[in-house]
Structures are given as structure tokens and as C-alpha cells.
Amino acid sequence: MKINFTFRIWLLIIILICSAIIISPNFQKGVIIKSVEKNSTAFEQGLKPNMIISSINGKTVNNMQDYTTEISSIFPTKNKTSVKIGTDSGEIIIFTNTVPEITVSDVPKSKIKTGLDLSGGARALVKAENKSLSSSELDDLIAITSNRLNEFGIADVSVKPVSDLSGSNFMQIEVAGASSADLNDLVSQQGKFEAKIGNETVFIGGKEDITYVARTGDQAGIYSCDTYQGQELCSFRFAITLSEAAAERQAKITSNLSLDSSNSEYLSKKLELYLDDNLVDSLSISKDLKGRVTTQISIQGSGKGATREEAYNDAMNNMKKLQTILITGSLPYKLEIVKIDTISPVLGKEFTKNILLLALLVFVLVSGMLFLKFRKIKITLAVILTMFSEAFITLAIAALIKWNLDAPSIAGIIAGMGTGIDDQIVILDEASSDNKSSLKERIKNAFFVIMSAFSLTVVAMLPLFWAGAGMLKGFALTTIIGVSVGVLITRPAFADIVKYIMKE
């Protein structure tokens, strides 16, 4: 009998198509840049995180092995040499005698993001030293830490708040491709922002010296874009308000400055902005501010890029970064790393391989048992296809919300698939029972059992979502998503398919 495509079946088909679009299988070859050493030759010449390298000196780079082979054939060398690196943003030429200071990995095959368990890297659980953080204080800590990591040119980084069952708040940092030593160096320093004129501090980040930072509207934004030395350049500015004490410090320091000999519109020294003792920007001071107590200051900066759009986006990102560190910049406590883990990418690949082998074995065993029980190949195929549909949609939702799939998340997907098979067997048992009620009524009874099990599963997963400082979030989240997809989408479609199979 030919299946009549009901609304529920069409809904499943449409969602599967949308899921395929969300996951977006990628067949592009090359290697993607994960991080670039700040102020290195590679950074200065234009290599940036998320660029895809497709060739080196005209030789095609399809994967990590090709990249390593080509780089090893060039370096080390005593004399500086010209290296032509082909990227998706154009060809970039680097003149150097050392290996480019970048971290690369194979181009992702889809938009599904994998956690450290699968891709390798380092994870740290961080708290404030000798202090219990409130939710707002934790948000400030995350903002300043994210800015620090961005200063190092790191692309694949995740910084998020987590808590344990006792209510303690932590910050969890994950960096793909980093070692535990690298991550320790990045997060162990205290977040500190200072604005200096010469060696004298004018103001520091935070509410004590900065009472207001404009983030939108007429007082903040991009005000000009132009072409400069073959590159696009966009400039931004935003207003800040200093406290009276900070304004008086600025007046006292600037009163002793002379005019800039090269441009008489500005003073001889600049306002320099430091984050963790590293210079992040240097701003000219208008001559009108010499010795003047003013709480209103305009912060200016710029962004650059190969195209006007790239320069505009770079300027916007730089402006937002400065705004954030001016608001949250200086924290009154040091950071303590509670726990730090390192995962090898080799172990991640081996884990992925074992998971795929296990999935194949489960597929064969489940298919065999279902066929032996129901003696119908159509029923067996319907159960298997529904099971994989649930997993596929769950992966698509994870890609949509940009959730990093780690080992617990994979376990949650498997748990959801197992629950799905149980529910489908309940539907099949009710549909094939000798009960004299109609098929529609029997399937309705099956869904009462399924909904009860679904409710219990969600209730059981919610505590796990918060337990263990967030370490079980992945398992709980993907389990909840999996069973919800089943109850709302795949089970109703499967029930309609079963109705037609049973009528044959």
C-alpha cells in the first residue's frame, strides 16, 4: 500500500531538509587558521584567524599533512625567504626565515562544532581568588577575559559561566589547539586596564574612574572610511565620562605638556591604553585639553581590511572591545585556576573513530532484533530511519545554537536515540496488539506512555544541566533536545507510517 504523506510526515521531511541546510556539509579543501601570534610577521602581513589556506608557493594544500609538508620543505632557513600563501581572502606574501607563527587545523566538514574531547585543546575552570563571585561580577570577569584572549588572536575559544550544586560560580574557558601551559599563561593574570600619559596613570577601567561609556547612538559609531596605502581604513569614536578625580589628574598631567612639534593641534604625548600591561591603543590628545578639568573625553580608533566591509567590521569590533574593557577593565581580585585539562587531538580522532564503530555495531544489532521481533523489513527500516532522523535533527539544533559537542553531548545523543527506539517499540506493540479498540485508539494509548516517560526524562535531566559546575550540561542538553525532537516531530510521523504498514 502506498503511504499517504500526512502533515506529520511532511513536517518531518521539511525539518530534515532544514537540518541539512543548517549543518551545511563542507567539501572545501585546505587548512583553517585557528590563531595568529599577535605582532608577528604573519599577523602584520595580513594573516588572520578563520582564514583558509589553500596553497603555499603555488602548491596546493588540501589538509594538515600537505601544510606540514610544504612548511617543512621551506623552513628552517638561514636567510629570509618569500613565502606566498594563498587564502580565501587573496594571496599574502610573507618575508621571513622562520615558520609562520600561526596555528592551523583541517577545514571543518560541517557547521557542527566539536568540543575538546573530539578536537583537542585545553579547558580551565577558573574562580576569583579568596572571593565568591555574584552573577554580575562573573559576567564582568567573562567580558575582560574574552577581551584578553581576543588580544592573542585566538579564534576557537569558548568562555562561559558555570556553577555547581552548592551555588558557587565559576568561569569555564576552552581553547582548541592550546596546551595547559598556554591556557595557564592566558588566564592567570589579573584583569587590569590603565590609561597613561607617559609614565603617569590618568584613569583605570571600572566605575571608580569611568562613570559612563557611550555604546550606541550619536555618541558612538564609525564616522569615516577611506583608502590608505592600498588598504581600507575606517575610524570610530565614542564618548566616555570620567569621575571628577580622574578629570583632575588628567588636567594636572596635561598642564605640563607642550604641543606636538609635528602637529600643533595635539599635545606632545599621547593617551596610551594598557590591558594587563600590554599596549592596546595610543590616542592623540587635543591641545584644547591642556590643563583643563573635563569629564568628557572622546576615545578614537580605527580598523583596517582588504575591503571596505572588512575594515568597517574590524573597526566595530575594536570599538566594542575598547568599550567593554573601559566598563569592566580593572577587577579587584586575582584569578585562581581550580582545574585545567589538556586533550590530545589524536585521542579525539580515536574517540570519534570508536564512536562510529560502536554506532555501526548498534545499528546492526538493533536492526537484527527488530526484524526477528516483527518479521517485517518495512517496520525495521521505519524504526532505524526514525532513529537516525532524531539524531540528525539533534545535531542540526546543536549546530544552530553553536553548542560544542563533547563526549557527554555525544552520550546524550545516544541516550536520546535509545529512548526513541523504546518509544517506537511501545507504538508498535500497541499497534499490533489484540486489543479490540481501534488502531487510532491503541496508538493514542502508546503516546500516553511516551509522554509520561518524556516528562520524567526532562525532569531528571534538569538537575544535571546545572550539576558539577556545568560539566554535565552537554549530556543533559542533548538528551532533552533528542527526546523533545522525538515527541514533537519524529514519533508522530512514525505513528502515521505504522498505521499504513499495519493496514497492509
Condensed to tens digits (0 to 9), the pLDDT of residues 100-156 reads 888 787 888 888 877 766 777 778 888 887 778 787 778 877 777 776 565 444 545
Q: pLDDT of 322-377, one tens digit each?
A: 776 677 555 556 778 888 877 666 566 677 778 778 878 877 887 888 888 878 88
Q: pLDDT of 460-488, one tens digit each?
A: 888 877 764 455 778 888 999 999 999 99
Q: Which three cell numbers stand for residue 221?
A: 559609531
pTM over 0.75: no
- Asked if 332 and 129 count as a contact pair (C-beta separation under 8 A), the reply is no
Q: What is the CA radius of gyration of the chain?
A: 29
What are the chain's domains? 7-25+345-503 (1.20.1640.10), 31-106 (2.30.42.10), 121-191+334-342 (3.30.70.3400), 203-308 (no CATH)
pLDDT value of position 1: 46
Among 2, 25, 15, CA closest to 386: 15
Q: Spell out where 59-168 has E strands.
A: 59-60, 81-87, 90-96, 102-106, 121-128, 157-163
Q: Where are the alpha helices (DSSP H) in 188-303?
A: 244-254
pLDDT value of position 469: 46
Q: pLDDT of 10-63, one tens digit each?
A: 999 999 999 999 998 878 889 988 777 766 788 878 888 889 999 999 999 998
Lowest mean per-residue pLDDT among 332-336, 376-380, 422-426: 332-336
Average pLDDT over residues 81-88: 91
Q: For 248, phi and psi rounded to 5 degrees?
A: -70, -35
User: Of 161-165, 179-183, 348-352, 432-436, which one has max mean pLDDT?
Assistant: 161-165
DSSP 14: H
